[in-house]
Amino acid sequence: MKAPAFAYARPATLEAALALLERHGEEAQILAGGQSLMPSLAFRLSAPAILVDINRIAALQGIERQGDDIRIGALTRHAEVERSDIVRADLPLIAAAISHVAHPAIRNRGTFGGSLALADPAAELPACAVALEARLVLASAAGRRTVAARDFFRGLFQTDRRPQEILIEALIPRQRAGQRSVFLELSRRHGDFAVAGIACQADFAAHRLAALRLVVFGSEPYPRLARHAAAAAGAAAPGDLGELVAEALARDLDPIEDQHGGRAMKRHWAQLLARRAMAQLAVA
C-alpha cells in the first residue's frame, strides 16, 4: 500500500514546530525517527493532514549531566544512547536495556523521545523511565510542563501528551550509591518485540533492600509500578525475596492476550523474570 496524501513541513526551530502544531492540532503528526510512523503511514493506519519533521531542531538532541539528573533530548538516537559513557556510568538500567531495542539499523534512526511518546507496550524505554522516576518535559506554544513518567503513560499506546505538544526531553535521576538496577527481557529472538520484560531499580541500606521500583512490560498494556510487589519486597527476608515478590506481582498484573500467549502464560513469564531479577539484586 501507499501512504495517504499529506502536507510536509520541516521547521528548523522548536518555536516554528510548536506554531505548526498549534495551527493544525490533531491533524498534524510529528516525524522524528519514523521507525513506527512510516510503516503506519504505508498501511494507512495513520492519515495526518501534515507531517511536522522535527529532525533539524538541534535543541532536542544530546545527553548531558544536569546536577543530579541526566538530560536526554527527545531526538537523541538510540545508537547515541547505546554509545554514551554518561548513560553507562549514571543510568545502568538504560545501558542494559538499550541493546534490546530492535536491531542496529532501527537504533540508528529511532529516537529516545519517539519511543516514549509512542508508548508501545513492548517497548523497553518507557518501562525504564517509570522505574527510574524520570520526568518528561513537554512543550507547546503556551509553555512547558513536566510530567512524571509514572503519570505519562495512560493505556495501550496512550499518553498524557496533548496534540499541540512535543515531548522535548527526559530528565532522569542519576543512579546513586546504594542503588542497584536489573533489566531482563524475554523475546522470541534478540531484538524482536518483547513478550515479557522487567525493569527495576532498588535502594539498599545497610545491605538490606529498602525500596523497590519494579515495572513489567511486554505483557502489560502500559508500564506502571508494581506496588504489591514493592510492598512484598520491603517485608521479605533475603532468602524469601524472589518468591514473595513473584507471588505479590500476580496482583499487579493485567496481561495482554495476543499471539504470543494467553493471560496465564504472560503472568507466568512475568513472575519468572521477577524471580530472576530479585536473585540478581541479591547477589549484586
Please check whether residues 102 and 70 belong to one and the same domain. Answer: yes
Determine, yes or no, domain membership for 139. yes
Q: Do residues 57 and 11 touch, judged by C-beta distance below 8 A?
A: yes
Q: Are residues 163 and 72 in the same domain?
A: yes
Average pLDDT over residues 254-275: 93
User: Within a domain: residue 2?
Assistant: no
In this prediction, residues 210-234 reach a mean pLDDT of 96
pLDDT more than 90, % of the chain: 88
> Is 112 within a domain?
yes
- Do 67 and 148 lie in one domain? The reply is yes
Is residue 46 one of the residues assigned to a domain? yes
CATH at residue 263: 3.30.390.50
- What pLDDT is recorded for position 208? 87
pLDDT exceeds cutoff 80 at 237: no
Give the phi and the psi of residue 66 in degrees, each rounded to 5.
-130, 90
Shared-domain flag, residues 81 and 137: yes
Residues 169-196 have a mean pLDDT of 95
Most confident of 33-42, 104-113, 238-247, 254-263: 104-113
Same domain, 187 and 168: no
Coil, helix or strand for 263? Answer: helix
pLDDT in tens, 25-61: 999 999 999 999 999 998 898 999 999 999 999 999 9
Give 86's pLDDT tier (boundaries 50, 70, 90). Answer: very high
pLDDT band at 1 (very low <50, low <70, confident <90, very high): low
β strands within 100-224, DSSP E:
135-140, 143-148, 153-155, 158-159, 166-173, 179-187, 194-205, 208-217
CA distance 257 to 37: 24
Neighbours of 155 (CB within 10 A): 10
- The pTM score is 0.96
Say whether both 40 and 121 belong to one domain: no
Mean pLDDT, the chain, whole residue set: 95
Please tell me the predicted confidence (pLDDT) of residue 236. 80
Q: Which of 135-139, 183-187, 235-239 has the lowest mean pLDDT?
A: 235-239
**Any domain includes 1:** no
Q: Is 209 in the same domain as 253?
A: yes
Count of the separate structural domains present in the chain: 3
Q: Which pLDDT band holds residue 284 (cuts at 50, 70, 90)?
A: low
DSSP string, 22-75: HHHGGGEEEESS-TTHHHHHHTTS---SEEEE-TT-GGG--EEEETTEEEEETT
Q: Which domain holds residue 19?
A: 7-53
pLDDT in the model for residue 258 = 86
